[in-house]
């Protein structure tokens, strides 16, 4: 069965950056399960998988525009420490949910200097090309419940 819209796909993958560093991998764990066409994985990888079937292996390079986007320096901001009410100690690397004019977004503290805290709302992989080594392990039709919820249920997928 070929990978197509509204099918459940199981893949094993290893993600590396251009320096060859492994950023993420499903190897040694359950394969990643996703609903094709539902935006569950980045666009560049999803489009490269279309038409493939169980047993296919491929290497996919995803440019930032089809991955996590380009870095947007407007998403790096200095905010007063008082904006973190109730948090005793703020350190670089901590992440928080922040409210933006596009709704909630995750920000990471990159610097603390006196009463100012620098936060970055970019995805950690924004601006990076992503290199995937992928093996398709299974393709099946999605259940009505999976289609209505927009994601895979069960092993490798979402559990309610």
CA distance 63 to 20: 15
Asked whether residue 53 falls in the same domain as residue 12, the answer is yes
Same domain flag for 114 and 136 = no
Identify whether residues 50 and 93 lie together within a single domain: no
Residues 29 and 96 reside in one and the same domain: no
- CA 115 from centroid of its chain's CA atoms: 32
Quick one: 109 and 133 in the same domain?
Answer: no
Same domain, 21 and 60: yes
Enclosing domain of residue 140: 7-68+125-149
Q: What is the pLDDT of residue 156?
A: 56
Phi, then psi, of 119 in degrees rounded to 5: -120, 150
Average pLDDT over residues 80-109: 90
Based on the structure, what is the number of domains in the chain? 2
**Which residue reads 């489009």 in tokens?**
47
Shared domain for 52 and 98, answered yes or no, is no
pLDDT digits (tens, 9 = 90+) for 8-40: 999 999 999 999 999 999 999 999 999 999 999
**Model-level pTM greater than 0.75?**
yes
Count Cβ atoms below 10 Å from residue 86 Cβ, excluding itself.
4
At CA 33, angle to CA 30 and CA 38, rounded to 5?
A: 165
Cα angle: 29, vertex 32, 37; to 5 degrees: 180
Do 104 and 58 have their domain in common? Answer: no
Residues 151 and 7 sit within 8 Å (Cβ to Cβ) = no
């Amino acid at each position: 069965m070929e990978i197509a819209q509204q099918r459940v796909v199981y893949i094993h993958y290893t993600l590396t950056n251009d320096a060859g560093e492994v950023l993420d991998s499903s190897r040694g764990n359950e394969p990643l399960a996703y609903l094709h066409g539902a935006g569950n994985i980045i666009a560049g990888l999803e489009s490269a998988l279309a038409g493939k079937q169980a047993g296919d292996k491929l290497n996919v390079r995803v440019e930032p525009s089809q991955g996590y986007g380009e870095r947007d320096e407007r998403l790096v901001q200095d905010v007063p420490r008082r904006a973190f009410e109730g948090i005793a100690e703020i350190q670089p690397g901590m992440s928080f949910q922040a409210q933006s004019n596009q709704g909630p977004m995750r920000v990471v503290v990159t610097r603390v200097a006196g009463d100012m805290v620098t936060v970055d709302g970019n995805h950690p992989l924004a601006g990076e090309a992503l290199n995937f080594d992928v093996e398709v392990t299974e393709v099946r039709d999605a259940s009505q419940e999976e289609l209505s919820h927009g994601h895979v249920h069960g092993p490798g997928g979402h559990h309610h």
